[in-house]
Amino acid sequence: MSTLNAGYDVHVIQQDQSSPYHSIMSFEELNLHEDILKGLYSKKFDRPSKIQEHALPLLLKNPPQHLIGQAQSGTGKTAAFCLAILSRLNFDDPDCQAIILSPTRELTQQTVDVMKELARYTKATIAPVVYQSDRCYSRVDGQIVIGTPGTVGRLIKIRQLNVAKVRMLILDEADSMLDMQNLGQMSVQIKRLIPNAAQLVLFSATYPARFKRYIEQFLGNAPRNEIRLLKVEELSIRTIRQFYIDCEDEEDRFSLLSDLYKVMTISKSIIFVHAREVADKITARLIGAGHYVSLLHGGLSPDERDKCMDDFRSTRTKVLVATNVLARGIDIYDVNMVVNYDLPTTLSSPERKKVADHEVYLHRIGRTGRFGRRGVAINFVHSLEAYEILRTIQNHYMCDILKISTDWTNLEGKTENEKKETRLDNIEAFIKKTLKGV
Ligand code: ADP
Ligand code: MG
């Protein structure tokens, strides 16, 4: 899947079917400090995942080398880089020594939480850095800074964050961080402000072709054969089952979504749409229909965004309507369904034609099926265009996206409402069966 190729010091690891998520190694064998091991065990991580097993030795070798890491979503990339940072930290020096950049405040907060747990038995200090509308930029004190590029960059420039001793810079969701205009520019600027010798580490599940020139630009002058590229390739069947449902038209699409509420709340679900306005509109309609849902997009205030995530994580709401702002990195263990109300699209270059966004598709559905758990992704198809986009995605990943058959036989003579109910019963039974793995 990766399009990054030769030139780098390439390590390809295959994740086989017999032990898809855990390695046969133990964390002790990775020579981690006792205090770090305690943090791992308190998180109930008893064995490393493949990416952790292979990334850690590469990240900890001396002299430090840059690393580009690629592994599927939900396979434990966060702990891989958090453990590397903790292992390299000089606990006696209070200054900032490592920076993790991530694309959104929600992912930043999550990474802060993971880092805090892993660092619980160490003396590491951790400083979250995200935009706060009502607070001024006060001095950042922490050995490990975790934040979004805009805010981190600003703090460095106004000298509220001293980066003179930074030895590691991590870009989580690296392709989105270098590709998107603003995030990309800010990430490159931050890299220029930290010491030249800092180790640069990129992690993502996807590295599309257009990403290559950004990576080269970001990594700068380091000889390519000294840059490590670590890929964990998944051979096993993914635990996310993908389906699509035909909707007759726009109205049918919404009414199906509303009807699916019961199924979506078996556990937790995220509904993805392409634009803020659509998110606002369908949230209002779902609430109008008597459902409890949360809404998250980039047009909300920081406090609203934080409250939405709190509600969803703490199960005050079980259904979340979101734009692509939430497509990456978010890890909520009981999300077992992702609905693509809109299929992800982007504009091709240079033609500026609407085409399937393969990477966003993979990241969106990757919000379920975390670390080997079961998950279902349902794509709504309400137009010929949507159908074609779905086909392109299927061909791109060479995967099966099965139609949930809404069997219309034996429905003759039934009323519209009865037909609707039968369709829903079918879908419900089907999804429950899939989640149980029957
Ligand atoms: P990624 O960044 O690769 O998408 P995350 O780092 O968010 O994935 O991890 C996905 C899930 O797997 C998280 O819930 C995390 O707690 C869990 N996890 C990570 N490593 C391990 C491990 N070694 N053992 C058990 N669970 C793990
Ligand atoms: Mg991640």
Among 78, 101, 96, which residue's Cα sits nearest to residue 188?
101
Query: What pLDDT, on a 0 to 100 scale, did the predictor assign at position 165?
Result: 98
CA distance 23 to 243: 30
Ligand nearest to C-alpha 108? 2
Band of the pLDDT at 135, cuts 50, 70, 90? low
- The 10 Å CB-count burial string (b at 16+, else e) for 209-240 is eebeebbeebbeeeeeeebbbbbbebeeebbb
Ligand 2 is a single-atom ion; what residues have CB below 5 A from it? Answer: 77, 329
The angle formed by the CA atoms of residues 210, 215 and 220, to the nearest 5 degrees, is 140
Strands (E) in 131-286, as ranges, are 144-147, 168-172, 199-204, 228-234, 240-246, 268-272
User: What is 27-231's CATH number?
Assistant: 3.40.50.300
Is the separation of the CB atoms in 98 and 85 below 8 Å?
yes
Ligand nearest to C-alpha 368? 1
CB neighbourhood size of 243 (10 A): 18
State which fold the 240-436 domain adopts. Rossmann fold (3.40.50)
Highest-confidence range of 61-70, 369-378, 425-434, by mean pLDDT?
61-70
What's the rounded mean pLDDT across residues 109-121? Answer: 98
Question: Which ligand 1 atom minimizes the distance to the CA of 72?
Answer: 3
Domain boundaries, the chain: 27-231, 240-436
In this predicted structure, the answer to whether residue 235 has a pLDDT above a threshold of 70 is no
Q: Which two tokens stand for residue 124?
A: 């590491």
CA distance 58 to 388: 42
What's the rounded mean pLDDT across residues 352-357? Answer: 93
Question: pLDDT tens digits for 361-390?
Answer: 999 999 999 988 889 999 999 999 999 999
**Ligand 1 binding pocket, CB closer than 6 Å:** 45, 47-49, 52, 71, 73-79, 331, 333, 370-371
Residue with the bigger pLDDT between 405 and 223: it is 223
What's the rounded mean pLDDT across residues 320-341? Answer: 97
Q: Which two tokens stand for residue 291?
A: 């459902």
CA 47 to chain centre: 22
Is pTM beyond 0.85? Reply is yes
Ligand nearest to C-alpha 78? 1
In this predicted structure, the answer to whether residue 269 has a pLDDT above a threshold of 50 is yes
Query: What pLDDT, on a 0 to 100 scale, did the predictor assign at position 1?
Result: 42
Is the fold of 27-231 the same as that of 240-436? yes
Question: pLDDT tens digits for 157-186?
Answer: 999 999 999 999 999 999 999 876 778 899
Query: What pLDDT, on a 0 to 100 scale, did the predictor assign at position 429?
Result: 86
Of 28-42, 204-218, 296-310, the range with the lowest mean pLDDT is: 204-218
> What separation in Å is there between the alpha carbon of 260 and the centre of ligand 1?
29
